[in-house]
Amino acid sequence: MSAGSAKIPVTVAEITPVTDLITRFRFARRDGGPLPVFSGGAHTVVEMQDGDTLRRNPYSLMGDPADQSSYSISVRRDDQGRGGSLFMHSQCRVGMDMVISNPVNLFALDLRGRKHLMLAGGIGITPFLAQIKQLAASNGRFELHYAARSAAHAAYADDLRAAHPGNVHIYHGDQDQRFDLEHLLDGQPLGTHVYVCGPLRMIGQVRDTAANLGWPREAVHSEEFLAPKSGKPFQVKLAVSNKVIEVGEHQSLLEAIEAAGVEAPYLCRGGACGQCETDVIGYDGKFLHNDHWLDADARASGKKIMPCVSRFEGKTLVLDR
Amino acid sequence: MTIQFKDETFRDDYTFKNSEWAVNRFPFPFHEDSYMYSVNMEPHQSFRPGSVFEHRFDVDEHYLSEMRDRAQVLAEDPLRCQSLPHMTLAGWDLLELIMVSKSEDYPDLFQLNRDDNNWHWINKPMGIDQKFTFLDEATLPYGPMEYITRQTQGDFAVLDQRDDNLWMDAGMITTQADWSLDFDIGMNFFEWHAPVPKAHELGIFVRALKFLLNVQQGLPARRLNWTMTVNPLLDTSPENYSKWGVQKQELTLENMPDKMHLRVELQTFFRLPRSNALVFPIRCYLIKLGEVVTVPKWGRRLHRVLRDLPEELATYKGFIGNRPKIIEWLSRYDDGAPTSPGIWPD
């Protein structure tokens, strides 16, 4: 099968500042046609032509999943990041042509759930916005707890509170308001599923607390996109295509493979889905595995690498690509 | 072309047969002279006009008779169609996928008019004219999955995706190669495949599951599977084994061309957008051995494949007892000449 997902040519229809760090972008199909419906929690991969660099970043779709007229994403500016969010904030303009992927969902609602308990940290609110719209349309029962640094940083909090009074609880870090996880997770009705999207530390806390309280592992869902880490440049030989490529300091291995004109499969580009798993033919050095996909055995084998987020340090690395 | 729908039976007097048109478009499953399991997936894109790969949901001359057979199976055993409560949204997804696909691919046979959630569906071959409210079950005579699959050839397994696995949580299964929805309902991918020999050791299922979990919206996939069936039975279910199992004993060299059938499943996989479930349509095509050998390449190749098939596969596919007879009959159509690569007639 071809690399990545089916692509959709779009135009930037609207750009809306939401907080001093978060901006919302609305895309419509270039041909004016309807976009595919999707399921709450899905993301799209946005392609950005940033000078000579083609960036592809995943962003959660935050609009109504049944609305086929346009897609919206919210992008948090990361001044220390590799440049994707900076491109969106500084170079993206209304009317610009861009390419996005068909929706992919790695954070779907478990539709068996009798109740959906949602825990959001910061920009992690975005997948829940779509899930809440999906649930509201089918009279699904949910409860959202949303933590942000301050009222000014709590994107969409006012809209959520107005639309769903009683189901939405906002916590402001600057006022020392914190989730009381023990209290939140204890005593939920049977059949409740909990979803967490936010910083890694928050996901860990929720998982640990739920496990200690006896929650079934299958009832706890989380999503965290890893941004590829920067690191020392390294050289890779691609055996199938017979090319030697350089991976730059702020480039991922996957991006370097693509920049060399070699097609490689991917979906999430964040170390979660497993689609880009690549066989290692030979190596002399050390892997820097940053993904959530390979287990300890696979890592120890030295035969697999996830090029979307993982790197390498050493003399030689030969990949089956 | 205009499809001439046939009036035929898949039970009792077994009047099913293929026209020359249907034989020539049959999805012969062997691309070379031998067979072993493989994941063998390819994108389900429109391919070869007139073939069964042209449209997302193929409609052929057997349509009306197959739908009548399905209705008979369901009347006798309603548990062939089941949907766990959380799968209703996936049922609407499937209804939408089929109605949109068929109305686009066969505009002279099927029409769909949509005004927001007010839908109007016309199925001309079956004489159905239905107005209903999308996502409102009360406006259809059956649940959405049952409603549309009573009008669509092939079985449908609707799989929930969660916990990095697929779960058999809904389906319409009346044309199956000896497996039971009522037995498998609620099982995950590894549980329902447990009876398949060899494939586990080959790591096929781990790879296949990984592939399926990543099937994406707008990029459906397909593969072919096959077995052998005595008499043109669509319903070779475990539930009715007592009725059809004994018919395997009736096979002779004389009745071979009319009684023995190659049974091919065109299996496709679509991501369902609203529910994130996966639908697995399993479309059964039957062809008599007498029809197979009208294509010389297929006669030669089927002989070689069945002759060399490992014993456990012939056992699992249920024709080990009849294999010597089948091979003897087919050998008359194998002159030893080389065959061309690929599945199509020369």
- Range scoring the smallest mean pLDDT among A104-108, B178-182, B212-216: B212-216
Cβ contacts from A onto B, under 8 A: 62
Q: What is the pLDDT of residues A265-286, one digit of tens each?
A: 887 888 877 889 999 999 999 9
Top-tier CATH class for A234-319: alpha beta
User: Is A111–B219 a contact, with Cβ atoms under 8 angstroms apart?
Assistant: no
User: Is B43–A36 a contact, with Cβ atoms under 8 angstroms apart?
Assistant: no
CATH 3.10.20.30 residue ranges in chain A?
Answer: 234-319
Look at residue B228 in the predicted model and tell me its pLDDT. 96
Q: Domain residues of chain B, as ranges? A: 20-331
Q: How far is B117 from chain A (nearest CA, A)?
A: 11
Interface pTM, i.e. ipTM? 0.87
Tokens matching residue B184: 């498998």
CATH 2.40.30.10 residue ranges in chain A?
Answer: 7-105
Helix segments in chain B, DSSP class H: 20-24, 63-76, 88-105, 144-149, 181-184, 189-192, 204-213, 241-244, 256-259, 289-292, 296-308, 311-316, 323-331
Closest CA to A314 of A276, A291, A282: A282
Any CB–CB contact under 8 A between B9 and chain A?
Answer: no
Among A39, A274, A275, beta carbon nearest to B273: A39
User: Running DSSP on this structure, what letter comes out for residue B51?
Assistant: S
Q: Which residues of B touch A218 (CB under 8 A)?
A: 162-163
Q: Does A35 score more than 80 pLDDT?
A: yes
- Amino acid residing at A191: G
Look at residue A2 in the predicted model and tell me its pLDDT. 38
DSSP, collapsed to helix, strand or coil, labels residue B67 as helix
List B217's β-bridge partners, or say none. none
Q: Does B317 score more than 50 pLDDT?
A: yes
Closest CA to A50 of A85, A23, A87, A75: A87
Average pLDDT, chain A: 93
Catalytic residue among B68, B223, B307, B323: B223
Cα Dmax for chain A: 60
The residue assigned the tokens 């397909």 is: B222
Mean pLDDT of B312-325: 93
CATH 3.40.50.80 residue ranges in chain A?
Answer: 115-223
Q: Does B39 score more than 70 pLDDT?
A: no
Look at residue B205 in the predicted model and tell me its pLDDT. 84
Q: Alpha-carbon distance B148 to B143, whole Å?
A: 9
Any CB–CB contact under 8 A between A151 and chain B?
Answer: no
Q: Is B307 a catalytic residue?
A: no
Q: Does B47 score more than 60 pLDDT?
A: yes
Look at residue A76 in the predicted model and tell me its pLDDT. 95
DSSP, collapsed to helix, strand or coil, labels residue A140 as coil
Find which of A45, A105, A111 to mutate to test the B interface (most B CBs within 10 Å of its CB).
Answer: A111
Question: Is domain A115-223 annotated with CATH 3.40.30.10?
Answer: no
Q: What is the pLDDT of residues B194-230, one digit of tens each?
A: 888 776 776 778 878 888 998 889 889 999 999 999 9
Q: What is the pLDDT of residues A64-93, one digit of tens each?
A: 999 999 999 999 999 888 888 999 999 999
Q: Does A219 score more than 90 pLDDT?
A: yes
User: Running DSSP on this structure, what letter comes out for residue B219?
Assistant: B
Q: Does A137 score more than 70 pLDDT?
A: yes
> Distance of alpha carbon B260 from its chain centroid, rounded?
18
Q: Does A227 score more than 80 pLDDT?
A: no
Domain formed by A7-105, architecture: Beta Barrel (2.40)
Q: Does B342 score more than 50 pLDDT?
A: yes
